[in-house]
Amino acid sequence: MAGDKNPMYVEQSLENGETQKNFDDDGRHKRTGTLLTASAHIITAVIGSGVLSLAWAIAQLGWVAGPAVLMAFSFITYFTSTLLADCYRSPGPTGGKRNYTYMDVVRSHLGGVKVQLCGLAQYANLVGITIGYTITASISMVAVRKSNCYHRYGHEAACAISNYPFMIIFAGIQIILSQIPNFHELSWLSILAAVMSFAYSSIGLALSIAKVAGGGHHVRTSLTGVTIGVDVSGGEKVWRSFQAIGDIAFAYAYSTVLIEIQDTLRSHPPENKVMKKASGVGVTTTTLFYVLCGCLGYAAFGNNAPGNFLTGFGFYEPFWLIDFANVCIAIHLIGAYQVFCQPLFSFVESRCSQRWPDSKFITAEYEVNVPCFGTCSINFFRLVWRTGYVIVTAVVAMIFPFFNDFLGLIGAASFYPLTVYFPIEMHIAQTKIPKYSFRWIWLKILSWTCLVVSLVAAAGSIQGLASDVKTYKPFKAQ
């Protein structure tokens, strides 16, 4: 069972039978996570590439529906994350057995085939996100080169630069960072990534304000977004609106790693209370940035807002500030990639160690002295498997470099099962809410409404991908 103690974690006791102070109640090394580190993990996971497409999403939906959809997703995400935080321990939220992964939580509260469905949704989503971040990071790196090119040769210059060398650079960095053994040692990287996300979001915000406040600024905006017959056809309006909903759903996605983040928290105060506070801090902070970036980005660019307003060259000057913002995006995505892939690494490695406990290739750890970094633990299976994973995701990203549609599809596919369905179903099971009671009915209505939203968003993204494929020429500079 995945929820059982990992054989690598052995409870050590003193002669008097008391557990050593540096171990938790489950025999694992004492967790040291706090409200600060959990909030940093959440902000790193949430404020990501999604914020860059929000001006485009607001442009499709308009001044009324755009901010309304943003606020609705923020409320739903926070509400369901509090339900999920209470499920970390079972049967009760404070004194029960720990569950280390999302699958363990579903197994403890729901069981049956839902465990496999949860695993499929979660890990497929994590793979999709890491591919998406590889694409986005390369776009940001290319944008630095393009910004310098436009500054030197003029805004009409061709400046065709391939993304692929930068995807290889990003993958090389991830191969090194992926050797960090587990989530508990990622706090420094998450804090750095969270600072970077604030930096580039603030730069985008400041540039939007400067563009709106500048003289001679005239762009078309409307209450309903892009205009049928002027900007788009009727069919395009519908599909783009669906895709925009998917982009916004993706912009709030962190349920996939919530349990793993909660498992880093110290036992006192209770983990669920700290996690709820961290979710409140994370969702409130990101919602503020999202509304400002989305709305001010729309005010700056109007109905012609680019899909990615820092790399789509809505801004050309000051070129050095655009360069700095894009470097911040790349650094943030380096950290965010690790936040999302570590649960997948842990899942595969724990399953393999349980399946082949006597294999030294899988279980043996070797201490290596690295200059300037001290002693590092090397495991050959971890080295081979994680390196292979990073290479495969980079290759897929090279074959499939469609940013906006890919974001929308990931968001739509994962939002309903992981952010809404499982947290609600587990809350109903844990608190034994009577069937057809008022609370049961409104929770089910919320669940079904989100299912419809996910389906239409997925449809919009699939249509967008289909149209992109028609004009795509692989391995050509964009």
* Residue in the structure block whose two tokens are 């039978």: 17
Using alpha carbons, select from 12, 9, 10, 8 the residue that is nearest to residue 21. 12
| pLDDT (mean) for 420-438 | 93
Using alpha carbons, select from 341, 139, 174 the residue that is nearest to residue 256. 341
- In this prediction, residue 10 carries a pLDDT of 42
Q: What is the pTM of this model?
A: 0.81
| pLDDT (mean) for 82-111 | 88
Q: Is the predicted pLDDT of residue 424 greater than 90, yes or no?
A: yes
Whole-angstrom Cα distance, residue 326 to residue 147? 10
Q: Is the predicted pLDDT of residue 32 greater than 50, yes or no?
A: yes
- In this prediction, residue 14 carries a pLDDT of 41
Among 20-34, 70-84, 103-117, 307-321, whose mean pLDDT is lowest? 307-321
For the ranges 26-30, 87-91, 262-266, 425-429, the one whose mean pLDDT is highest: 425-429
Comparing 187 with 209, the larger pLDDT belongs to 209
Six token digits for residue 166: 């930068």
Q: Is the predicted pLDDT of residue 383 greater than 50, yes or no?
A: yes
Q: Is the predicted pLDDT of residue 186 greater than 90, yes or no?
A: no
Comparing 207 with 314, the larger pLDDT belongs to 207
Whole-angstrom Cα distance, residue 249 to residue 136? 17
Position 460 confidence tier, pLDDT thresholds 50, 70, 90: confident
Q: Is the predicted pLDDT of residue 20 greater than 60, yes or no?
A: no
Q: What is the pLDDT of residues 51-81, one digit of tens each?
A: 777 888 999 999 999 999 999 989 999 999 9
- In this prediction, residue 5 carries a pLDDT of 46
Q: What is the pLDDT of residues 119-141, one digit of tens each?
A: 888 888 888 888 888 988 898 89
- How many helices (H) and strands (E) in the chain? 15, 4
Q: What is the pLDDT of residues 156-176, one digit of tens each?
A: 777 888 889 999 999 999 999
Name the percent of the chain in helix, strand, coil, to the closest 5.
70, 5, 25
- In this prediction, residue 414 carries a pLDDT of 78
Distance of CA 435 to the CA centre of its chain: 34
Whole-angstrom Cα distance, residue 139 to residue 155? 18
DSSP code of residue 367: E
Per DSSP bridges, beta strands 366-370 and 374-378 are: antiparallel
Q: Name the 3-class secondary structure at 19.
A: strand
Whole-angstrom Cα distance, residue 92 to residue 136? 40
Peptide bond into 357 cis (omega under 30): no
Q: Is the predicted pLDDT of residue 9 greater than 70, yes or no?
A: no
Q: Is the predicted pLDDT of residue 7 greater than 50, yes or no?
A: no
95 CB contacts (<8 Å, ≥6 apart)? Answer: 89
Q: What is the pLDDT of residues 216-239, one digit of tens each?
A: 667 888 888 888 888 888 888 888
Comparing 23 with 301, the larger pLDDT belongs to 301
